[in-house]
Structure formats: structure tokens, C-alpha cells
């Protein structure tokens, strides 16, 4: 566990050192849970977005895109339920003045019991070696049974308060924190305030005069921009059910506990698709979209064992199925994407609050109805983080040296080809530039002439550049270069005229998309 935390810390500093992610307003010591993407980060992020956008909009004839404004009419958020119910339960420690999510404090306490059990198992495993039988050990070890009992009791109580009639039982949450003797990690005391609901939406005002100004919200999800445009798109695009609307854009949540780098941010980006369908077909479509989305993730080649579905047992009142796609991050399996069967809740609510008829006339059934919706919703930043975590490697080389390499899927890498002149003379820089001038129209290239070749390779490994080319004396004679592969570090001699055909297909988003079909 500690080792994994170290790896994660290294990934965070690598992101900063190599121009992927910086804390926002870094010169002012940053802003909590807000980040900027640097010169390499923005390229990787754009490639992720392109992979998603094209897999939705290019590969599906019945999915179109939109780009709705971040500001929306305030009634949107009343209708969607966000004004009344988009809350987290918060609690303050009076001594440290630190604020926590009450539910997270309890979940961390449950994780502590699980950790204790796991440690007992690992100790016994070492002691008994091949003869170890985990099931028998779990059923007989006193320490395991004791911690399991504590975990089960806490889990049961927690479920009860979180799912109480009429919403979360806030007093019940506080009582659990007191009974479990949970202390503030900063002050070490149990001097807690009551638990209060905290709305996660950021507010601002629109209008120039204080009197005339109205409160508006920064959108906490992009989905509502799609719902309010359902009629516009369906009519102007003459869309027939089933059809989808896709959107990529910023979303904002005033997260109480923002941790784990870009995993939980206050300003982040979502890629959402709402798929409008005939009522009654939703469970089939839900299953189909689960399959399509999992394939999209696994297509990156990170290994099926690093993904799992987490189907929700408890559903929001308007949903009739929901699952998360979780990825194996250094801090455990974590949600990257949500897939939800949202019935006709959102469209019906907007019809009610706007007074507009939001329906679909089905020519085959000769009737009008409010479509049902399957939503796929993925965070760009979480996807970015999962890719970074999986790609980062500190590789031990045969000569004992360590090279830090990002095994990014070539199609997502910020730079596809680096071109180096062996020396800065004899026309080698000009030749290298000539190669770049030819290839830059096809993929992202970078010219590097500083330091010896070995160091230049390392810098390119660290940003995940899949190919490097070196121009040397022989190039000037026969127009060939050495082409070096990032992952195998193998070098081969190839003609300059072949470079494009060797590289282009491997680094294009199209190559990824073709594997989806």
C-alpha cells in the first residue's frame, strides 16, 4: 500500500516536471483541487477527447454532438433536482477548523477494518506458505472475525442512515462518528460540529445591477445542456429514435474533500452522451452500452484485469439501472465512468418546469411519448489520470540504470516523433528540420538538438514519445535514419521516405477506432 502511494506521488511530480499538469495559479501556491494542463498534458487530453468524440459521433450514424453553454437558466437546476438534492453531508472539527465529508470519514473507518483483516491474512500467508487456506483462516482467526464483525456492524448502520426515509439521517451520521471514536487527522480530537448538508453547485450572479441580477450556477454536469436541447436537436436533425447526443465540456463542483490530484477536482471536464430510446427497451440498451463502453476502455490495451463494473444496488429514485466502470489506480479500483438508465425523469422534469411539451412522435407506433434515456458519463481528467498511472514505469535497465518511461498508447501520446541531429553541424540540423517540415502535417513532431543522444532519448521516454529518429553522417549520404522504438528501445535503419508510412498508422486515432468495429 505504502509502495503504491509512493508510486502515485512520483506520478504527480512527473506530471509537473514534464509539462503535463500544473497546480492552478502555481505562482500563488495553487488553488485547491484546480489544475492546469501544460504543453504535453493538453495534447494528451485533446487526444483522449478525440478518441471519445470520434468513437461516438463518427462511428455511430445516430449520434450527433453539441456544445452547450456552461451558464444555463437557473430553473434547469431546480428541474433536475440539483438545487434541492445535489448535496454532500459535511462536518467540521472545531479545533483544527478543518472540514470533512461525514460519509467519507465513515467509509475510511470501514477501510481501516478491511486493512486490518488484510494484514492478518498477509501475515498468515507468509507463516503458512503453500499450506495457507484463506477461507478457513477467515472463518477461524479471532482477530479477523473481530474486525469483520466491526466492519459488518458499521456497514449496516451506515447503509441505514444513508438510505433513511426522507434522505440522509444527518444526526445518525454524527452518532456513528462519535460511537466509532473517529478523530480529526489534524487536531486528533473528537470535537465535531453537527453534520450539515452542503450544496456542491457554485453560484454566481448574472446582470449588471445588484437589483436586477439573478443567481445562476456553474453547471455541475454537462448532461442538462443535452436534455434542454433534446427538442432542438431532434427537430432540426430530424432524428429518429433511438438516437444520441454527445457533448464534451467543463463541469464544476465545490467538492468538500478534494484529494488524489486530478481524481476529484472542483473544475473538471466531462464527456457525456445521452441516448434517447423507446420506453421498455432501456434494460437492453443499458446492457449494450455497458459492453460498448467497456470495449472502448479495454481497446487501449491496459489489460482487462484492470477494469471492473460496479453495479449499483441502491438506485436514485429515477434510475432503474446504474453501473460504474472502475479502473485499477494506485489507490485502488476507482470510478472513471458512470452508465445510468435514467428513465424519462429529466425530460419529464424539464417539460413540467418549462411548460413545453417534450415528446417524440413515433411514426411506427403512431403515438407520442417521452423518450427514456441511457447516459454514459466519463470524466476526461480521471481518464487522463488512469492513463498516466498505467503508463508510468521506472524500468531497470541491464546496465543498472533506471529509465522513466511513459508507455502511452501511441495514438494518445502528445508527441509522436522526435527528430535529433547527431551533432549540430555538417548540415544535420537542416536535414532533421527537413524531415519535420515534411511530417508535421501528418502527426505531432518535435525537434531536439541539446545534449547527447542518450539524454534526448530519456527526455522523450519521459513524455511517452513512441518514436525517435536520429540524423547522422550516413543520412547525408543515403537518406536513411535510425528509428528507435520507445518500448523496446530497438533501433533500425530506415529510409526517410518510409517514415510516414511506418509511423502514421500506428499513431493515429483511426487505428484505435478501427479496432472498435
| Residue 88 β-bridge partners | 198
The long-range contacts involving 209-216, CB below 8 angstroms and separated by at least 24 positions, are 214/74, 215/74, 216/71, 216/72, 216/73, 216/74
Is residue 293 within the footprint of ligand GAP (CB under 6 A)?
A: no
Give ∠ CA 484-490-496 in degrees, rounded to 5: 35
Per-residue CA distances from 247 to 201, 272, 297, 374, 517 (Å): 20, 5, 18, 14, 22
Closer to ligand GAP by CB, 255 or 438: give it: 255
Is residue 338 within the footprint of ligand GAP (CB under 6 A)?
A: yes
| Residue 326 β-bridge partners | 308, 335
Q: What track of x and - describes contact with ligand GAP for positions 487 through 506 (by CB under 6 A)? A: --------------------
Closer to ligand GAP by CB, 112 or 308: give it: 308
Q: Which residues contact 79 (CB under 8 A, 6 or more apart)?
A: 346, 349, 350, 352, 353, 354
Considering the complex, what minimum distance in angstroms separates the CB of residue 255 from ligand GAP? Answer: 5
Could you tell me which stretch among 20-28, 102-110, 267-275, 504-512 binds ligand GAP (CB under 6 A)? Answer: 267-275
Q: What length is written for the chain? A: 517
Q: Which of residues 234-253 bind ligand GAP (CB under 6 A)?
A: 253
Total chain residues near ligand GAP (CB under 6 A): 19
Contact yes or no for 119/235 (Cβ under 8 A): no
Q: Could you say which of 45, 174, 264, 416 contacts ligand GAP (CB under 6 A)?
A: 264
- Residue 21 neighbours by CB distance under 10 Å: 26
Q: Could you say which of 45, 82, 101, 382 contacts ligand GAP (CB under 6 A)?
A: 382
Closer to ligand GAP by CB, 233 or 325: give it: 325
Task: Give CA 200 to chain center in angstroms.
Answer: 19
Q: At what angle do helices 102-128 and 170-179 cross, to 10 degrees?
A: 40
Question: Of 410, 336, 412, which is closest to residue 377 (Cα–Cα)?
Answer: 336
Q: Could you say which of 294, 319, 321, 336 contacts ligand GAP (CB under 6 A)?
A: 336
Considering the complex, what minimum distance in angstroms separates the CB of residue 324 from ligand GAP? Answer: 7
Is residue 322 within the footprint of ligand GAP (CB under 6 A)?
A: no
Is residue 268 within the footprint of ligand GAP (CB under 6 A)?
A: yes
Could you tell me which stretch among 18-26, 159-167, 174-182, 331-339 binds ligand GAP (CB under 6 A)? Answer: 331-339
Closer to ligand GAP by CB, 104 or 494: give it: 104
Closer to ligand GAP by CB, 223 or 460: give it: 223
Question: Of 268, 266, 247, which is closest to residue 375 (Cα–Cα)?
Answer: 247
Contact yes or no for 102/258 (Cβ under 8 A): no
Per-residue CA distances from 221 to 134, 245, 392 (Å): 43, 14, 30
Closer to ligand GAP by CB, 266 or 407: give it: 266
Q: Could you say which of 223, 231, 358, 412 contacts ligand GAP (CB under 6 A)?
A: 223
Considering the complex, what minimum distance in angstroms separates the CB of residue 38 from ligand GAP? Answer: 18
Q: What track of x and - describes contact with ligand GAP for positions 352 through 381 (by CB under 6 A)? A: -----------------------x-xxx-x
Task: Give CA 413 to chain center in angstroms.
Answer: 17
Is residue 412 within the footprint of ligand GAP (CB under 6 A)?
A: no
**Minimal CB distance residue for ligand GAP:** 379
Could you tell me which stretch among 23-31, 37-45, 57-65, 264-272 binds ligand GAP (CB under 6 A)? Answer: 264-272
| Residue 262 β-bridge partners | none
- Binding residues for ligand GAP, rule: CB under 6 A, are 221, 223, 253, 255, 264-265, 268, 270, 272, 335-338, 375, 377-379, 381-382
Amino acid at each position: 500500500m505504502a509502495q503504491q502511494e509512493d508510486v502515485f506521488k512520483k506520478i504527480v511530480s512527473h506530471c509537473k516536471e514534464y509539462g503535463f499538469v500544473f497546480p492552478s495559479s502555481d505562482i500563488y501556491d495553487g488553488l485547491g483541487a484546480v489544475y492546469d494542463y501544460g504543453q504535453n498534458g493538453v495534447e494528451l487530453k485533446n487526444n483522449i477527447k478525440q478518441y471519445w468524440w470520434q468513437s461516438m459521433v463518427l462511428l455511430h450514424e445516430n449520434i450527433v454532438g453539441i456544445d452547450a453553454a456552461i451558464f444555463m437558466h437557473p430553473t434547469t437546476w431546480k428541474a433536475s433536482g440539483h438545487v434541492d438534492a445535489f448535496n454532500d453531508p459535511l462536518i467540521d472539527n472545531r479545533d483544527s477548523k478543518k472540514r470533512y465529508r461525514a460519509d467519507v470519514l465513515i467509509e475510511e473507518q470501514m477501510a481501516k477494518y478491511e486493512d486490518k483483516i488484510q494484514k492478518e491474512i498477509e501475515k498468515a500467508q507468509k507463516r503458512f506458505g503453500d499450506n495457507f487456506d484463506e477461507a478457513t483462516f477467515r472463518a477461524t482467526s479471532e482477530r479477523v472475525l473481530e474486525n469483520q464483525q466491526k466492519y459488518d456492524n458499521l456497514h449496516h448502520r451506515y447503509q441505514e442512515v444513508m438510505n433513511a426515509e426522507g434522505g440522509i439521517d444527518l444526526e445518525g451520521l454524527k452518532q456513528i462518528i462519535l460511537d466509532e471514536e473517529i478523530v480529526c487527522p489534524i487536531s486528533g480530537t473528537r470535537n465535531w460540529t453537527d453534520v450539515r448538508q452542503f450544496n456542491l453547485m457554485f453560484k454566481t450572479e448574472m446582470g449588471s445591477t445588484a437589483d436586477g441580477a439573478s443567481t445562476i450556477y456553474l453547471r455541475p454536469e454537462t448532461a442538462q445542456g443535452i436534455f434542454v436541447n433534446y427538442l432542438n436537436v431532434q427537430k432540426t436533425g430530424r432524428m429518429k429514435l433511438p438516437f444520441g447526443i454527445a457533448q464534451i465540456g467543463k463541469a464544476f463542483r465545490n467538492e468538500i474533500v478534494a484529494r488524489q490530484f486530478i481524481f476529484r477536482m472542483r473544475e473538471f471536464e466531462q464527456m457525456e452522451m445521452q441516448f434517447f430510446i423507446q420506453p421498455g427497451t432501456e434494460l437492453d440498451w443499458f446492457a449494450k452500452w455497458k459492453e460498448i463502453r467497456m470495449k472502448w476502455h479495454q481497446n487501449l490495451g491496459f489489460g482487462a484485469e484492470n477494469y471492473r463494473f460496479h453495479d449499483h444496488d441502491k438506485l436514485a429514485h429515477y434510475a432503474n439501472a446504474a453501473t460504474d466502470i472502475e479502473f485499477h489506480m494506485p489507490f485502488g479500483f476507482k470510478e472513471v465512468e458512470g452508465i445510468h438508465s435514467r428513465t424519462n425523469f429529466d425530460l419529464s422534469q424539464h417539460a413540467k418546469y418549462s411548460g413545453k411539451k417534450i415528446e417524440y412522435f413515433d411514426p411506427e407506433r403512431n403515438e407520442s411519448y417521452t423518450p427514456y434515456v441511457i447516459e454514459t458519463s466519463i470524466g476526461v481528467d480521471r481518464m487522463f489520470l488512469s492513463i498516466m498511472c498505467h503508463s508510468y514505469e521506472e524500468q531497470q535497465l541491464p546496465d543498472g540504470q533506471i529509465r522513466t518511461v511513459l508507455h502511452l498508447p501511441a495514438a494518445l501520446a502528445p508527441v509522436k516523433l522526435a527528430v535529433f541531429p547527431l551533432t549540430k553541424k555538417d548540415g544535420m540540423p537542416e536535414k532533421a528540420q527537413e524531415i519535420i517540415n515534411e511530417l508535421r502535417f501528418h502527426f505531432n513532431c518535435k525537434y531536439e538538438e541539446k545534449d547527447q543522444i542518450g539524454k534526448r532519448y530519456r527526455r522523450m521516454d519521459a513524455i511517452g514519445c513512441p518514436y525517435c529518429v536520429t540524423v547522422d553522417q550516413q543520412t547525408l549520404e543515403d537518406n536513411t535514419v535510425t528509428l528507435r522504438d520507445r518500448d523496446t528501445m530497438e533501433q533500425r535503419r530506415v529510409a526517410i521516405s518510409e517514415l510516414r508510412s511506418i509511423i502514421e498508422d500506428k499513431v493515429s486515432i483511426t487505428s484505435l477506432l478501427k479496432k472498435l468495429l
